[in-house]
Amino acid sequence: MQMETAFSYIDENYKRISYEVGEACAKYRKPGEKVDIMAVTKTVDPLAVNHAVGLGIELLGENRVQEYLSKKEAYSKNAQVQFIGHLQTNKVKYIIDSVSLIQSVDSVKLASEIDRQAEKVGKVCDVLVEVNIGNEESKSGVDKNSLEQLLFDISEMKNIKVCGLMAIPPAEGSERFLAEMQQIFYDISEKKTENINMDILSMGMSGDYVQAIKYGSTLVRIGRGLFGPRNYR
């Protein structure tokens, strides 16, 4: 796909996504409640990413450390970059100073390394804890039964701050898992643990973002639905 054609494609997709998010918010949410649209940029050419930023995208989601490092200098400074993929502890040091939030924290080991590296660069790193809500072996994330202990352990670290939860529900029966994540999110919010904020519930991708908004998502992560076919990437 030629880049000019790709831009037109992104324009149409962004218009549709924005409309559908707006309709879902009007239907399922209180007036004034906001849902952020994140552009997932895996394999996407920075020119296409920057075009999406120009349309109004303010959040970019990166899955792979090496790819992010190869593209980050080309990205528009008008959008924040968050890391959403599985993160190995030995890669934390490469992204700690440039991402605004890490969505995929699922162990004390990873959280401890983020805390250590954040201290080195003099920042408090915002994170989400990833929950493997469907208990799928193919996906990362903490088991829901171990979530509270992990949150407690992270709450005692000085250079890391939990801002919410992230999940990728199973494709089959996703509505049930979305509803379960919403309840978990509410339950943790009500406990008001120090250093644990439930400001963000990141769930919903190209195929289920409207459903996710119905069940309380505050941030939807959209790649294919925004950028379409990947042959220009």
Q: Which helix (H) or strand (E) holds 155?
A: helix 147-155
pTM of the model: 0.95
8 A C-beta contact, residue 111 and residue 157: yes
The DSSP symbol for 109 reads H
| Residue-level length of the chain | 233
8 A C-beta contact, residue 144 and residue 184: yes
Q: How confident is the prediction for the chain on average, in pLDDT?
A: 95
If one counts every other C-beta atom within 10 angstroms of the C-beta of residue 230, the result is 13
Q: What is the pLDDT of residue 233?
A: 41
**Percent of the chain topping pLDDT 70:** 97
Report the candidate in 193, 116, 122, 121 with the shortest Cα–Cα distance to residue 162. Answer: 193
Q: What is the pLDDT of residue 232?
A: 44
Stretch 123-140: mean pLDDT: 96
Is residue 41's pLDDT more than 80?
yes
Residues in Cβ contact with 172 at an 8 Å cutoff, skipping those fewer than 6 apart: none
- 112-126 per-position pLDDT tens digit: 999 999 999 999 999
Q: What is the pLDDT of residue 193?
A: 86
- 59-80 per-position pLDDT tens digit: 999 999 999 999 999 999 999 9
8 A C-beta contact, residue 181 and residue 131: yes
Domains, the chain, ordered by start: 3-228 (3.20.20.10)
Q: What is the pLDDT of residue 171?
A: 85
- 152-200 per-position pLDDT tens digit: 999 999 999 999 999 999 988 889 999 999 999 999 999 988 889 999 9
